[in-house]
Structure 1
Amino acid sequence: MSAPIFRDPVEDGAADPVVVRREGSDEWWMFYTDRRAGAAGPKFTWIHGSPIGVAMSLDGGASWHYRGTVAGLDDPADEPGGNTHWAPEVIYAEGQYHMFLSYITGVPDDWRGVPRTITHFVSKDLANWQRVGPIRLSSQRVIDACVFRCPDGLWRMWYKDENAGSSTWAASSKDLFNWQVEGRVLAGSPYGDPHEGPNVFALGGYYWLIVDEWHGQGVFRSDDTRLWRRQGIIGNEPGQHEADRKFVRHADVVAFRDHAAMFYFTHPDWDERSQADGPPDVAARRTAIHQARLTVVDGVLVMDRDVPEGVGLLG
C-alpha cells in the first residue's frame, strides 16, 4: 500500500535517502538529509543546517530504526555543527566505505549564489568517517553525487551542476580519489528540463539513470553508461496510501538480479501542484521515506509504487 517505511523521529524531515548493506552482516543502513522541518528563520533556513541522519534495518528492510546523526562531517575550518549536509552517496569499494556528501558552509537562508561542494569521506564501519576533502568538479555549485562502477572499468560520478542550469554532469576516476570531469550528460535550463538527484544502476540487461524533475523521476536507458536515451517518467502518479499521493522525489536504487528496491521521499502534506514556491508551513515541510519495486519489462523500466507494508528489499 506504499505506506512510509521511515520518518525521522526528531526533525521529521528525512529526505534524499541512500541505502547500503554493511559488509559481512545482515544490517542495512539508510543515510539521509535530515531537514529541519520545524526550524525558525527566514525563507529557506529550514532546508539548511541539516545533519545526515541514519536508520538501520536488521530484517532486510522490512522495518527501520533511527540511530542518530553522523558526527565528524564538518570542515575543521568551519563552525562546528553550524553547516549544511545534503544528499549523501554511500558505497562500499576497495575494502572500505566511501561517502560523497553535498556540503555547504554555514546555514544560508537562500540557495541562490551559495557555493556548495561534493566532499569525499571514507569509513571502515559506516559509523566513523574520515574526511578526504572536496572534489574539484565543473563549478563551485555542485550537489547530489551518484557513484557507479562502469563497464569500461572506471568509476563514474554523476552530479547536479547548479551553475549550468541544473544539469547533470559526469566525472570519472580509476581509484575514487582522483577525478576528471567528462562533461555534461543531461541538459538543464534553458536547453532542457532542469533536474537533480541523478542515480545510476544496472537492471534487466541495461543501465538506467533516473533524475528528480520535481514532478516525478525522469528515466534514461543506456547500453554503456555513456550515451543515454530518455524513456519517460515514473513516480508522477499517486500511490494508494494517503501518505504516498505526492510526487516521488530524490530516489536511490538498490538493484538485485531480477528487481530493484527504490527508496524515495515525499511531502505527504504539501499541495505541490498549486504551491510551486515551496512548502508554506511546517506541516508541508515534513517528509516520509517510501520504498517501491522496479522491474524491466520488454526493455522498459516499470515502477510498482504500491509495495505492501513490511516487504523488505528482497521481497
Structure 2
Amino acid sequence: MPQQRPLWDGYCADPFVIRAQDGRFVMYGTSPERPGGRAFQTLVSDDLDVWCPAGGALVIPADAPAGTEWWAPEVAYAGGRYWMYYSQGMGDQGHQIRVASSVEPTGPFTEAGPPLTEDLPFAIDPSPFQDVDGTWWLFYATDLVEGARPGTVIAVQRLRTMTELAGEPRIILRASADWQLYARDRQLYGAQHDWHTLEGPAVVRHGDRYWLLYSGGNWQTPRYGVAAASAASVEGQWTEDAAIGPFITSQSTGLIGPGHCSIVSAVGGGHHLFLHAWDAQRQRRRPHRLTLQITGGPPRVAP
C-alpha cells in the first residue's frame, strides 16, 4: 500500500486537534524544534486538509534545566480558557504531567501550577476527556513494574479542577500481548525487564459505549501500532480482544509506525482520526488524518 500524504511536511508528532471557539481547528504536536522560542508546534486549519504553522504554544520556564523535553500536548476548553496537558522531563526518565493555560487556542500557554503526578515516578501522554455529565477526566500513561508484563500502562483519574487531580490513579489497561513489547532486557528501576508499552490514550463515546484507542510497542519502529478497548463507563472495566491486536499498523495503512491518536467528531456524524507516522527516511514524524469508523463492532479506519 503506498504511503499516504501527510497533512504537513514538518515535524509534528503526537498530533492533537481541537475545534477552537472561533471555529478554526488547531493542531498541537511534539517537536524537537522550538518555534518562536516556545515548546510544541501549532498548526491551524479551516477545513482539516490545509494546515498552516502558527508558531510554538508553550512558554518555556526560565528555570527549565538544559536538556528538558516537552511531550504530547493535549488541550481542553473550560471556564473560558484553554488548558494544555503535557509531560516535562529528560529523555525516558522523570517525566511528569503538567498543565498550562491560555485565553487563545494557539497560546501563549503559561504554567498553571505544580506537576499533577508528583507521586508517580513517570507519567506521560495526558488526554483530558469530558463525560456526558460534565465531569472531566484525565487519561495518561505511567509505569508499572509488577506483573507478568512490566511496562507502561494506561491510567485514569478524575480532574477535581482543571489544575488538580482527585483520588488515586486507576490502572485500566496493561500489556497483554507480545506485539506491545518495547524492548527486551531494558534497564529500568534497578533491574532488567522485557518492557512492554501502552501509551497515547484517546477516548471517544459512541452510543452507550466508551472506546479507548492506545498505541503499543516501540514508537521508533515500524511495528508500532494502535489498538482499542471499550467500557460501559470511564472508570471501566475496560476490555479488549487480545486476539485482534492492533487495527492501525504499517501493514494496514501504508504508514511507517503509525500511532498516538486524537479524535475529532465530524459534522453529520463519524469521527476524524489524527495520528503521526515516520517519513521514508525515518527522520520526521508527520501528522496524518484517517476516518474512524465505529459501528456495531471494534473501530476501523479508512483513508
TM-score normalised by L of structure 2: 0.78
Question: What 5-or-longer segments of structure 2 have no aligned partner?
Answer: 146-150, 176-180, 182-192, 218-223
Distance 1:128 1:293 in 2: 31
Displacement of 1:76 after TM fit? 3.7
Displacement of 1:152 after TM fit? 5.7
Distance 2:164 2:82 in 1: 16
Q: What residue number does 1:117 align with?
A: 96
| Richer in strand (by share) | 2
Corresponding residue to 1:173 among 129, 152, 159: 159
Displacement of 1:159 after TM fit? 0.8
User: Cα gap change, 1:50/1:16 in structure 2, threshold over 3 Å: closer, same or farther?
Assistant: farther
Q: Kindly, what percent of the aligned residue pairs are identical?
A: 21
Question: What 5-or-longer segments of structure 1 have no aligned partner?
Answer: 37-48, 270-282, 307-315
| Pairs within 5 Å for 1:48-87 | 51-58=39-46, 60-72=47-59, 74-79=60-65, 83-87=68-72
User: Cα gap change, 1:220/1:86 in structure 2, threshold over 3 Å: closer, same or farther?
Assistant: same
Q: What residue number does 1:7 align with?
A: 9
| Pairs within 5 Å for 1:76-115 | 76-79=62-65, 83-104=68-89, 108=90, 110-111=91-92, 114-115=93-94
Cα deviation, 1:119-144, whole Å, max 9, x if unaligned, reads 11111112222311211355131100
User: Cα gap change, 1:206/1:166 in structure 2, threshold over 3 Å: closer, same or farther?
Assistant: same
- Determine whether 1:213 maps to 2:199: no
- Determine whether 1:264 maps to 2:266: no
Cα deviation, 1:142-164, whole Å, max 9, x if unaligned, reads 10001111246531111111354
Displacement of 1:192 after TM fit? 9.7
Q: What residue number does 2:262 align with?
A: 252
Higher RCO (CA-CA < 8 Å; seq separation 6+):
1
| Pairs within 5 Å for 1:125-144 | 125-126=104-105, 127-133=107-113, 134-136=115-117, 138-144=119-125
Displacement of 1:297 after TM fit? 2.0
Local SS of the residue matching 2:227: strand
Contact 2:58 2:110 in 1 (8 A): no
Q: What residue number does 1:234 align with?
A: 247
User: Cα gap change, 1:35/1:168 in structure 2, threshold over 3 Å: closer, same or farther?
Assistant: same
Contact 2:249 2:255 in 1 (8 A): no
Distance 1:260 1:116 in 2: 31
Displacement of 1:182 after TM fit? 3.2
Root mean square deviation of aligned Cα: 2.6
